[in-house]
Amino acid sequence: MLLALALTLGVAACGSSDDDTGSTEAEGNSGGAIVSNPDNGKVSLTIGSKNFPEQEILGEIYAQALAAAGYKVKTDLNLGSETVALRAVKSGQISGYPEYASTALTSFFGLEPEDVPADAEGAYEKAKAEFEKEDLTAFPPTPFASANAVGTLKTTAEKYDLEDISDLEGVSEKLTLYGSPECRQRIDCLAGLEQLYGLKFKSFKPVDIGLRYTVLEKGQADLSILFTTDPQLAAEKDKFVILEDDKEVFPSGNVLFVTKKSTAEQAGPDYEKTIVQVQEGLTLPVMQELDARVELEKQTPKEAAAAYLKSAGYTG
Amino acid sequence: MIGALLPHPVLASIEGAIEFIFSPQSSNVTGGKTVGGIDQVWELLLNQIELTVFALALALVVAFPLGLYLGHRGTGESLAIVIGNLGRAIPELALIAFMAAFIGVGVLNLTIALAVLGIPPILANTFVGIHQVDRASVEAARGIGMTEFEILRRVEIPLAIPTLFAGIRGATIAIVATATIAPIAGVLTLGDFIINQNVYGTNGVLAGAIVVALLALTLEFSLAGVQRLLTSKGLKLSNA
Q: Do B198 and A182 touch (CB under 8 A)?
A: yes
Chain B residue numbers with beta carbons less than 8 Å from the beta carbon of A207 are: 105, 184-186
CA A57/CA A290 separation, integer angstroms: 8
Handedness of CA B169, B170, B171, B173 (dihedral sign): positive
Name the pLDDT band for B4 (thresholds 50, 70, 90).
Answer: low
CA B24/CA B38 separation, integer angstroms: 8
Residue A141 CA, distance from chain mean position: 12
Q: What is the pLDDT of residue A181?
A: 92
- CATH code matching the domain that covers A148-242, chosen among 3.40.35.10, 1.20.1250.20, 2.130.10.10, 3.40.190.120: 3.40.190.120
Chain A residue numbers with beta carbons less than 8 Å from the beta carbon of B44 are: none
Residue B228: pLDDT over 80: yes
User: DSSP letters of A72-98?
Assistant: EEEEEEEE-SHHHHHHHHHHTSSSEEE
Of A170, A159, A167, A172, whose CA–CA distance to A202 is shortest?
A: A172
Closest CB from B28, B197, B199 relative to A80: B197
Closest CB from B105, B188, B201 relative to A220: B105
What is the interface pTM, i.e. ipTM, of the complex? 0.79
Q: What is the pLDDT of residue B90?
A: 82
A206 Cβ under 8 Å from any chain B Cβ:
yes
| Residue of A116, A180, A202, A205 best to disrupt the B interface, most CBs of B under 10 A | A205
What are the sequence ranges of the domains in chain A?
Answer: 12-145+253-311, 148-242
Q: What percent of chain A has pLDDT over 70?
A: 90
Query: What pLDDT digit, counting tens, does each position of B147-200 carry?
Result: 999 999 999 999 999 999 999 999 999 999 999 999 999 999 999 999 998 889
A186 Cβ under 8 Å from any chain B Cβ:
yes
A210 Cβ under 8 Å from any chain B Cβ:
yes
Q: What is the pLDDT of residue B180?
A: 96
Residue B142: pLDDT over 60: yes
The CATH classification number of A12-145+253-311 equals 3.40.190.10
Mean pLDDT over B202-209 rounds to 94
The answer to whether A162 and A168 are in contact (CB under 8 A) is yes
Residue A212: pLDDT over 60: yes
Chain A residue numbers with beta carbons less than 8 Å from the beta carbon of B30 are: 185-187, 191
Mean pLDDT over B61-90 rounds to 87
Task: Report B:155-184 residues touching A (Cβ under 8 A).
Answer: 183-184
Query: What pLDDT digit, counting tens, does each position of B158-169 carry?
Result: 999 999 999 999
CA B178/CA B176 separation, integer angstroms: 6
What average pLDDT does the structure give for chain A? 88
Of A279, A315, A313, A205, whose CA–CA distance to A54 is shortest?
A: A279
Domains and CATH numbers, chain B: 43-239 (1.10.3720.10)
pTM: 0.80
Q: Do A106 and B29 touch (CB under 8 A)?
A: yes
If phi > 0 it is left, if psi is from -120 to 50 it is alpha, else beta; for residue A110 that is left
Residue A1: pLDDT over 60: no
The answer to whether B155 and B141 are in contact (CB under 8 A) is yes
Strands A145-146 and A148-153: unpaired
The answer to whether B13 and B149 are in contact (CB under 8 A) is no
Among chain A residues, the shortest Cα distance to B107 is held by A205
Of B181, B190, B189, whose CA–CA distance to B210 is shortest?
A: B190
Q: Point out which residues pair with A145 in neighbouring strands.
A: A254
